[in-house]
């Protein structure tokens, strides 16, 4: 007598579904991005990132308190300075916007884990991620010196981790060496290892006021068509001392996340970027999708192999996980 296979036995109710669930989201693994601006008493919704805000330093306390109450333990900071120049000097100034933000957060919330974006695009008048040559090409090795200064200034202000996003060759090794020489041997580096020249960054560039004033970033960010190149980039960053490697964006690059996880015994982060957020948020707000699409999209990133997810949906996820 043949026996009918009945996988549906394990789907009868939420209790049994929960018992055998293979992939789980945890607030411990979510990182929430924050955009900090100069000025006072500013909390202004970012048009392209509904539900996310430009915040002045004095409004950070209420924002961090909300995150703590929701159970979110980690943030990544992006700064929008009031003044920019060709060399992005505001990025490493002791009283720069990010440096002030770190100190403000740590003075009130010592346990909030503060990661900082180490890059120059928000601070340069031209919007590129480094020092330009006369013909407009980003000078790789000159840029490294500035990235090292930025990383040290963030750590001196109290950052728990630095995350270089510039995609310059050799920057992880350079920053590791600079941090170690400054006595910060225990500060980890989360490398934007496979950062693609993606069309999904549009809302972020408005939020961070970081769109390049000419050209594009294809000479330093990766070609979206390439997977094996991502593996080479990740391997180089690991060799140079990266503690965590990242794939950015996430949803259109799930195959890359999976391949990185399969090839390296390393913590893998994925950045659920602004364009991905804006698409799903827009569909939810218009009624085309239910809010369940948020958790489904985050689960897909987790299922692909990401240990850490940087996402503008962190607050939504925290509320949904409590239900």
Question: What is the Cα–Cα distance from 178 to 308, expressed in whole angstroms?
Answer: 26
Joined together, the tokens standing for residue 41 give 């008493």
Q: In the structure, what pLDDT confidence band is assigned to residue 289 with cuts at 50, 70 and 90?
A: very high
**Would the annotation count 322 as a binding residue?**
no
pLDDT at residue 293, rounded to an integer = 98
Domain housing 86 = 24-321
Question: What is the Cα–Cα distance from 274 to 127, expressed in whole angstroms?
Answer: 18
List the one residue out of 177, 187, 185, 130 whose CA is nearest residue 154: 187
If you average pLDDT over residues 67-75, what whole number do you get? 98
Instruction: Please check the confidence at residue 111 and state whether its pLDDT lies above 90.
Output: yes
Which residue, chain included where needed, has tokens 């920019």?
Answer: 84
Q: Does 9 map to a domain?
A: no
Q: Does 19 map to a domain?
A: no
Q: Does 10 map to a domain?
A: no
Helix (H, G, I), strand (E, B) or coil at 287: coil
- Give the sign of the dihedral formed by CA 320, CA 206, CA 127, CA 255: positive
Q: Does 15 map to a domain?
A: no
Q: Does 152 map to a domain?
A: yes
- Pairing assessment for the beta strands 190-195 and 161-164 based on DSSP bridges: unpaired
141 backbone φψ class: left, alpha, beta (φ>0; ψ -120 to 50): alpha
For 38-50, write each residue's pLDDT tens digit.
999 999 999 999 9
- The residues near 256 (Cβ < 8 Å, ≥ 6 apart) are 194, 227, 230, 247
If you average pLDDT over residues 207-229, what whole number do you get? 79
8 A C-beta contact, residue 260 and residue 230: yes
**Would the annotation count 119 as a binding residue?**
yes
Q: Which of 73-77, 129-133, 274-278 has the lowest mean pLDDT?
A: 129-133
Cα angle value 32/305/21 (rounded, 5°) = 95
8 A C-beta contact, residue 121 and residue 127: yes
**Would the annotation count 205 as a binding residue?**
yes
pLDDT at residue 215, rounded to an integer = 59
- Reply yes or no on whether 110 is catalytic: no
Q: Does 7 map to a domain?
A: no
Q: Does 312 map to a domain?
A: yes
**First and final CA of the chain: distance in angstroms?**
44
8 A C-beta contact, residue 222 and residue 231: no
pLDDT at residue 322, rounded to an integer = 87
For 248-277, write each residue's pLDDT tens digit.
999 999 999 999 999 999 999 999 999 999
Mean pLDDT, the chain, integer: 93
pLDDT at residue 213, rounded to an integer = 65
**Would the annotation count 121 as a binding residue?**
yes
From 195, 259, 261, 302, the catalytic residue? 195
**Would the annotation count 312 as a binding residue?**
yes
Q: Does 166 map to a domain?
A: yes
Question: What is the Cα–Cα distance from 25 to 42, expressed in whole angstroms?
Answer: 32
CATH of the domain at 130: 3.20.20.70
**Would the annotation count 281 as a binding residue?**
no
pLDDT at residue 216, rounded to an integer = 65
8 A C-beta contact, residue 149 and residue 136: no
The tally of domains found in the chain comes to 1
Q: In the structure, what pLDDT confidence band is assigned to residue 209 with cuts at 50, 70 and 90?
A: low
- Reply yes or no on whether 100 is catalytic: no
Higher-confidence residue of 93 and 216: namely 93
From 84, 100, 149, 248, the catalytic residue? 248
Question: What is the Cα–Cα distance from 147 to 145, expressed in whole angstroms?
Answer: 6
pLDDT at residue 127, rounded to an integer = 72
For 167-190, write each residue's pLDDT tens digit.
899 999 999 999 999 999 999 999
Q: Which of 82-91, 294-303, 312-321 has the lowest mean pLDDT?
A: 82-91
For 271-281, write each residue's pLDDT tens digit.
999 999 999 99
- Burial bucket for residue 227 (CB in 10 Å: 0-12, 13-18, 19+): middle
If you average pLDDT over residues 46-58, what whole number do you get? 94
């Amino acid at each position: 007598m043949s026996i009918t296979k009945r996988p549906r036995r394990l789907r009868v109710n939420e209790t049994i579904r929960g018992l055998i669930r293979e992939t789980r989201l945890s607030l411990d693994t979510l990182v929430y991005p924050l955009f900090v601006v100069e000025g006072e008493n500013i909390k202004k919704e970012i048009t392209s990132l509904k539900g996310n805000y430009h915040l002045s330093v004095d409004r950070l306390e209420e924002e961090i308190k909300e995150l703590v109450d929701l159970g979110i333990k980690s943030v990544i900071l992006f700064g929008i300075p009031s003044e920019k120049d060709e060399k992005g000097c505001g990025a490493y100034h002791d009283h720069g916007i990010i440096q002030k933000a770190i100190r403000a957060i740590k003075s009130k919330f010592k346990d909030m884990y503060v990661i900082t974006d180490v890059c120059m695009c928000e601070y340069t008048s031209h919007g590129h991620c480094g020092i330009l040559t006369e013909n407009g090409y980003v000078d790789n090795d000159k840029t490294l010196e500035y990235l090292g200064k930025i990383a040290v200034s963030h750590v001196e202000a109290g950052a728990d981790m630095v995350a270089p996003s510039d995609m310059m060759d050799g920057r992880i090794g350079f920053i590791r060496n600079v941090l170690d020489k400054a006595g910060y041997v225990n500060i980890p580096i989360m490398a934007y290892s496979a950062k693609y020249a993606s069309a999904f960054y549009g809302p972020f560039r408005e939020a961070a006021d970081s769109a390049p004033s000419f050209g594009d970033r294809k000479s330093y960010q990766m070609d979206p068509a390439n997977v094996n190149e991502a593996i080479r980039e990740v391997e180089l960053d690991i060799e140079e001392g990266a503690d965590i490697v990242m794939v950015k964006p996430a949803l259109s690059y799930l195959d890359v996340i999976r391949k990185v996880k399969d090839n390296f015994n390393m913590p893998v982060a994925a950045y659920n970027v602004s364009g991905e957020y804006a698409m799903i948020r827009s569909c939810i707000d218009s009624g085309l999708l239910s809010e369940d699409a948020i958790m489904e999209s985050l689960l897909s990133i987790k299922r692909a192999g990401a240990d850490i997810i940087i996402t503008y949906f962190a607050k939504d996820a925290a509320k949904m996980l409590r239900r």
